[in-house]
Amino acid sequence: MTRRATLVATAVSLLLILAIYFGSRMLRDFDSALIPYAVATVFLAFGVAYRYTVWVSAPGARRLFTKGWGSLFSAENFRKAPTALPKMIATYLGFQKFLGARSHARWAAHQLIFWGCILAAAITFPLTWGWFTFTSSTGSGPGYEMRIWGFKVLGYDSSSLIGWLMFHGLDVAAVLVIPGASYFLYRRMKDRGAMTGQRFAYDLVPLIALIVISVTGLLLTFSSIFLHGGGYEFLALLHMVSVVFTLIYIPFGKFFHIVQRPAAVGMQLFKYTARQKDEVFHCRRCNTPIDTAPYVENLEATMRDLKLDFAEWAEYCPRCKRELRGNAYLSHVKKGFK
Amino acid sequence: MMGKTIFIDPGRCIGCQACVSACRECDSHRGKSMIHLDYTDPGQSVASLPTVCMHCEDPIAPCAEVCPAEAILITADGVVQQADTTRCIGCANCVNACPFGVPKIDLEAKLQMKCNLCYDRTAYGLAPMCATVCPTGALFYGTLEELQAERPGVQVADSFAFGDVMVSTGVAMVVPADKVQWPVPGGLPVVEVNGVDVR
């Protein structure tokens, strides 16, 4: 498995290097000042691909992964419910309705972090790869052109609102991330539920990293506007170190949920398509619906893969399992519970 | 079996639900009770069975094994934690694979929750909420030695039979002395006529 993961990760990293090379028009548009960031993204690609391969090789994930993609690529499913997938992606991955069911405050804070990070990633990744360029046809402006892979996609005036947003997109992202991450950090220090079993490297480091990146990023703007560039080099270095560290940390810690979470959409689609066909599995003892029949079948197969040889037990609802165990104890172990 | 753990004695349980109420007060799942109290033969018997997570040791935590999102962590002290909120995708694999019927799921929140042996308390040497309030000692928290000092001659079992499979657990059950050498029956029905369970 390790060999397979290494091969996949190497292939993905090489593909990214090629994409950087060709996307930056043979490095013509590549900004050498951003080399550390670009190198970190290659490491990130390796780490994510490696961890992802190992993850989807485990029986539980592998089977749901196959079923999820199978549901996605089923023409029959698409014909029956063409809007199901986009709706799930929007409500689940985009607006994260399920987090609202856990706590409204956590939902709001997570939305701030999520959209801030999406914005930051959409700006910085293509920039560090040399895919985006901003050039002025009139020397020092104010007319600017944004080009992707060398093709002009947008022309704007740098003094306009669009121009301001283009140059301050990362500041906007930082302003979104800081309150969100601060709330979670506060919660990690105050909420006894959240503190139960929390680990510094897993639970606190990601939040601290997000705040450091955002604050140093904002300070760079502050330095250039108010301090005439005072301390800029040091801040740029600090910002770069924090970003590079965070990118490399993604595959190993809490941030890996960003990569894992879309699997939930596959799982939901798998269950949704079975429910459309009324394929519901009922408890063999009390007839309570357990889940969809293909899901129970998939779980039993997973259990057999794992040598958990009581797979048929999954055909009983949790309550019946407990009651049957209680009855067995009552009749075989302690008669009448005496 | 862990050093300090819960010992369940269904023979002492009077079904008062004090454990259910106390469990709701646990900081890691405030407002939601994770302990189950089932009346095994309602209408015929007053027998009741409290069920906490048994913290399976061998095979180690089937709930964690079937989890597709690597969301269930087992701490070094053998406690099977409830799902990591960041990772859990709410697929219910753990709910349906658990041979003891322990994990609960909130489908709207896409989150599994289960007894974590009141980790916010036990990690600091305090007894879990359920064992703290149980008026009859049906739920006892401590070491086996402590249990036997309080109840001389008591015997416990920490293995359960599900069909041909034996599951060893971190939490143990009180059993009569003559039953110690056998695993406690897990209740898996095996009597079938034309594929229908007739027990």
DSSP A97-109: HHHHHH-HHHHHH
Rounded to the nearest 5 degrees, what angle is found at the Cα of B72, between the Cα atoms of B68 and B76?
A: 135
Among A29-43, A78-92, A161-175, the minimum mean pLDDT is found in A78-92
**What value does the mean pLDDT take over residues B28-39?**
92
Nearest CA-CA distance, residue B49 and chain A, Å = 6
Q: How many CB atoms lie within 10 A of CB A68?
A: 22
Radius of gyration of chain A (CA): 25
Q: Domain residues for B17?
A: 5-197
Question: Taking CB atoms and an 8 Å cutoff, what residues of chain B touch A102?
Answer: 85, 106, 109, 111
Beta bridge mates, B162: B165
Task: End-to-end CA distance of chain A: give it in Å, rounded.
Answer: 53
Are A337 and B197 an interchain contact pair (Cβ–Cβ within 8 Å)?
no
Q: What share of chain A is helix, strand, coil (3-state, %, to 5)?
A: 75, 5, 20
Are A329 and B41 an interchain contact pair (Cβ–Cβ within 8 Å)?
no
Question: Taking CB atoms and an 8 Å cutoff, what residues of chain B touch A287?
Answer: none
Give me the torsion for CA of A79, A82, A84, A88, rounded to 10°: 140
Interface contacts (A, B; CB < 8 Å): 208
Among A35-44, A316-325, B173-182, the minimum mean pLDDT is found in B173-182
The residue ranges of DSSP E strands in chain B, in sequence order, are 5-8, 36-39, 48-51, 56-58, 104-106, 111-113, 139-142, 155-162, 165-175, 184-185, 192-193, 196-197
β-strands B5-8, B36-39 pairing: unpaired
β-strands B155-162, A151-157 pairing: unpaired
Q: In this structure, what token pair is assigned to residue A297?
A: 């079948």
**Residue with more model confidence, B124 or A9:** A9
Residue B197, pLDDT score: 53
Give the CATH number of domain A2-263; options: 3.10.20, 1.20.950, 1.10.10, 3.40.1000.
Answer: 1.20.950
Question: Taking CB atoms and an 8 Å cutoff, what residues of chain B touch A61?
Answer: 68-70
Are A312 and B95 an interchain contact pair (Cβ–Cβ within 8 Å)?
no
Are B49 and A325 an interchain contact pair (Cβ–Cβ within 8 Å)?
yes
Beta bridge mates, A133: A147
Cα B30 from Cα B42, distance rounded (Å): 29
**What value does the mean pLDDT take over residues A260-287?**
92
Task: For chain B, positions 99-138, list CB contacts with chain A under 8 A.
Answer: 99-103, 106, 108-111, 116, 119-120, 123
Task: For chain B, positions 47-106, list CB contacts with chain A under 8 A.
Answer: 47-49, 51, 59, 62, 65-70, 73, 75, 81, 85-87, 89-93, 95-103, 106
Q: What was the ipTM of the complex prediction?
A: 0.93
Domain CATH number, residue B83: 3.30.70.20
Residue A115, pLDDT score: 97
**Cα A124 to chain center, whole Å?**
17
**Residue with more model confidence, B198 or B68:** B68
Domain with CATH 1.20.950 in chain A: 2-263
Give yes or no for B154 touching A (CB within 8 A): no
Are A323 and B97 an interchain contact pair (Cβ–Cβ within 8 Å)?
no
Give yes or no for B184 touching A (CB within 8 A): yes
Give me the torsion for CA of B21, B23, B26, B28, rounded to 10°: -130
Cα A327 from Cα B49, distance rounded (Å): 9
Nearest CA-CA distance, residue B145 and chain A, Å = 22
Count up the domains in chain B and report the number.
1
Residue with tokens 């009448």: A336
Question: Taking CB atoms and an 8 Å cutoff, what residues of chain A touch B187?
Answer: 321, 323-329
- Nearest residue to A101 (alpha-carbon basis) of B88, B104, B111: B111
* Tens of pLDDT, residues A225-266: 999 999 999 999 999 999 999 999 999 889 999 999 988 899
DSSP letter at A200 equals I
Beta bridge mates, B105: B112
What percent of chain B is modeled with pLDDT above 90? 73
pTM: 0.91
Helical axes A59-72 vs A262-276, angle rounded to 10°: 60
Are B188 and A338 an interchain contact pair (Cβ–Cβ within 8 Å)?
no
Q: In this structure, what token pair is assigned to residue B115?
A: 């007894």
Confidence of residue B199 (pLDDT cuts 50, 70, 90): very low
* Residue B181: HSE in the Cβ half-sphere, 13 Å Cα cutoff: 1
B45: enclosing H helix or E strand: none
Residue with tokens 């550390």: A36
Are B47 and A337 an interchain contact pair (Cβ–Cβ within 8 Å)?
yes
Cα A86 from Cα A78, distance rounded (Å): 11
What percent of chain A is modeled with pLDDT above 90? 74
Nearest CA-CA distance, residue A107 and chain B, Å = 11
The values of phi and psi at residue A120, to 5°, are -65, -40
A144: enclosing H helix or E strand: strand A143-148
Question: Taking CB atoms and an 8 Å cutoff, what residues of chain B touch A210?
Answer: none
Nearest CA-CA distance, residue A270 and chain B, Å = 10
Q: What is the mean pLDDT of chain B?
A: 90
Are A337 and B98 an interchain contact pair (Cβ–Cβ within 8 Å)?
no
Are B89 and A267 an interchain contact pair (Cβ–Cβ within 8 Å)?
yes
Give me the torsion for CA of A293, B197, A326, B68, rounded to 10°: -20
Alpha helices (H) in A129-249, listed in sequence order: 161-190, 192-195, 205-226, 232-249
Cα A184 from Cα A318, distance rounded (Å): 34
pLDDT at B50 over 50: yes
Residue B192, pLDDT score: 57
